[in-house]
Amino acid sequence: MATWTAAADRYDNMTYNRCGRSGLDLPALSLGLWHNFGGVDKAKKAKAMVRRAFDLGITHFDLANNYGPPPGSAEDTFGRILAKDLIAHRDELIISTKAGWEMWPGPYGDYGSRKYMVASLDQSLLRMGLDYVDIYYHHRPDPDTPLEETMGALDHIVRQGKALYAGISSYGPELTAQAAKILRELGTPCLIHQPSYSMLNRNVEDGLLATLKEEGIGCIAFCPLSQGLLTSRYLDGIPKDSRAASSHGFLKEDTITTEKVTQLKQLNEVAAERGQTLAQMALAWVLRHDEVTTALIGASRPEQIEENVGALSAPDFTAEELQRLDGILAGG
């Protein structure tokens, strides 16, 4: 079997953006291994997708302890791909993982205690065959653990050398500012925040983006295609092989109403006028903010990654286009 060799021109056409007030650049598109990389489909296409992403200049691969399903299997899969294909390129990669959702039974396998955060990263490193990750996130706020403990755990992990940078995910504006202050005082700045952001979920515009700008924190938008809704997949119903039709997906059939399909078709018309697919326009729309460092894409086949990268050559949105899009989105 022939040995895979990374494309020599892999950095020629990718855009890289500085992540907040740091020295780190991230690709404008990052690959998330939330679905299709675990045991649910035996990761048949996982290797091809990781290889193609890297060939296109995507250097950031985003995981979490519970990604799969089953939990942990995405890290297992990525670890095998890394060992076989990408280990020679380790210093070209940004590998991130997270902890914050239920991972094992008992009182120490969930949320944000120091015990859980440290133990979870040790497990993640073992699954991936790594000595360190580049970014370690707290995956969601913990209402019962003092924020000082959770942020202190991130600082401890960075000082141990098990992670190079610390991040948070799904924190609101006020809690983000508090977390950033604690980390800054500890000497480990908060590098990045990972919120859900798309045309169909604009909550970050209500204060969070302004907070990230003020704090000098980068933003990686997850679900920028709204679990695949903002693609051509659902313009004519629900395909049998789609996330909405899957028993393990988060997108449910009952969310794809007639009204929603009408809205998607209107958005698709604007995209076509711009010479883009709906997915490409949706990604370009998220990336239009200076505060957004990178958009986190998912994929089930390499061709989707290729299509998404095409969003980076999109023309700037005109004021008229943005006004028209706002009208369509407000009507949804």
Based on the structure, what is the number of domains in the chain? 1
Distance of CA 74 to the CA centre of its chain: 14
Asked whether residue 186 is assigned to any structural domain, the reply reads yes
Asked whether residue 173 is assigned to any structural domain, the reply reads yes
Exposed/middle/buried for residue 41 (C-beta within 10 Å: 0-12, 13-18, 19+):
middle
Residue at token pair 């938008």: 221
Task: Report pLDDT digits (tens) over 166-180.
Answer: 999 999 999 999 999
Using the predicted structure, report yes or no on whether residue 127 has a pLDDT greater than 90: yes
**Confidence bin at 255 (pLDDT 50/70/90):** confident
Q: What own/partner pairs with CB < 8 Å and gap ≥ 24 does 180-184 have?
A: 180/215, 180/217, 182/147, 182/148, 182/151, 182/152, 183/151, 183/154, 183/155
Asked whether residue 52 is assigned to any structural domain, the reply reads yes
- DSSP-derived pairing of the beta strands 218-222 and 292-297: parallel
Return the biggest CA–CA distance within the chain. Answer: 54
d(CA 134, CA 164): 5
**Confidence bin at 272 (pLDDT 50/70/90):** very high
Asked whether residue 268 is assigned to any structural domain, the reply reads no
Using the predicted structure, report yes or no on whether residue 40 has a pLDDT greater than 80: no
Position 102 scores a pLDDT of 97
Residue by residue, DSSP assigns 22-91 as: SS-EEESEEEE-SSSSSTTTTTTTHHHHHHHHHHTT--EEE--TT-TTTTTHHHHHHHHHIIIIIGGGGG
d(CA 236, CA 239): 8
Compute the 3-state secondary structure of the chain and give helix, strand, coil in percent, each to the nearest 5: 45, 15, 40
Asked whether residue 282 is assigned to any structural domain, the reply reads no
Task: Report pLDDT digits (tens) over 48-91.
Answer: 999 999 999 999 999 999 999 899 999 999 999 999 999 999 99
What is the CATH number for 144?
3.20.20.100
Of residues 222 and 40, more confidently modeled: 222
Q: Is the CB of residue 177 less than 8 Å from the CB of residue 151?
A: no
Tokens of 148: 């000082």
Of residues 256 and 96, more confidently modeled: 96
Asked whether residue 233 is assigned to any structural domain, the reply reads yes
AA identity, residue 152: G
Using the predicted structure, report yes or no on whether residue 244 has a pLDDT greater than 60: no
Task: Report pLDDT digits (tens) over 193-208.
Answer: 999 999 999 999 999 9
* Angle ∠(196,199,270) on CA atoms, nearest 5: 155
Tell me the C-alpha to C-alpha distance, in Å, between residue 16 and each of 190, 217, 289, 314: 19, 16, 14, 15
Q: What is the DSSP letter of 112?
A: T
Asked whether residue 171 is assigned to any structural domain, the reply reads yes
d(CA 9, CA 22): 26
**Confidence bin at 245 (pLDDT 50/70/90):** very low
d(CA 25, CA 231): 27
Position 254 scores a pLDDT of 67
Asked whether residue 205 is assigned to any structural domain, the reply reads yes
Position 95 scores a pLDDT of 98
Q: Which helix (H) or strand (E) holds 98?
A: strand 94-99
Q: In which domain, by residue range, is 221 found?
A: 18-237+289-301
Position 216 scores a pLDDT of 98
d(CA 287, CA 224): 9
